[in-house]
Amino acid sequence: MPEELKHEEVNSKTDPSVAKQYDTETPMSQQWSEFYGICDKLKVGLLGTHRNNVPGMVFRSMATAKRTGPDFLFLANHHSHKFEDLDNDKDVTITFQNNSNQDWVSINGTATTVDNSDPRIKELHNGMVKAWFGDLGDGKHDGSADDPRMSLIEVKSKYITYWKAQVGTLGMMKEVGMAALTGKVANTGATREFHQQDIEKERQSPSE
């Protein structure tokens, strides 16, 4: 239900929509499980890198090849600009958003790149990956796991925040409508965050 806006929230310069939906009560195991559920359902997100002489970050759509606990693997073409970006700055951001219910995820992490000698590439490669590489017909640059362009980006998470809807589409519309009419603040989901110590603990003993 929509909640009253309090004087102290305004005076302390608090964003009430964030404060009222910030969740510290849900058990950590459930928080992780629901985070994984969002990422695994969406699979395709945006990977942001820092590029020389470009303000902010540069994002591109990337399909997750594998998620292991809080960390992510992506197959990618070593000739793409993102590898130049990562040579200069290893800090990246990954985002996911579900347009149907507005669930979203933001992950800050550090990326490591590996060439096609890494055995994990053969494990992760599938026939559809070839569609993004093309086949030169020289028996080498064919989009296979042995293609010298085939590389791996591994992102180790350092900070994670996400929002999960707690109401369906009709409930969302009702909640927002009531809040707008009454001057209260809509409360439609839960905002959660994991700091580095939480992530390290999860990495050592995944709760999936």
- pLDDT score, position 20: 67
Buried b (16+ CB within 10 A) or exposed e, 113-133: beebebeebeebbeeebbeeb
pLDDT in tens, 36-91: 999 999 999 999 999 999 999 999 999 999 999 999 999 999 999 999 999 999 99
Q: If you compute the radius of gyration of the chain from its CA atoms, what whole number of angstroms results?
A: 20
CA angle in degrees (0–180, nearest 5) for 36-189-65: 20
Contact 29, 206 (CB under 8 A): no
What are the residue boundaries of the structural domains of the chain, listed by start? 26-167+194-201
User: Which architecture characterizes domain 26-167+194-201 according to CATH?
Assistant: Roll (2.30)
Residue range 80-129, pLDDT digits in tens: 999 999 999 999 999 999 998 999 999 999 999 999 999 999 999 998 99
Distance of CA 134 to the CA centre of its chain: 27
Q: 152, 83 in Cβ contact below 8 A?
A: no
pTM for this prediction: 0.85
User: Residue 43: which of 140, 169, 128 has the closest Cα?
Assistant: 128
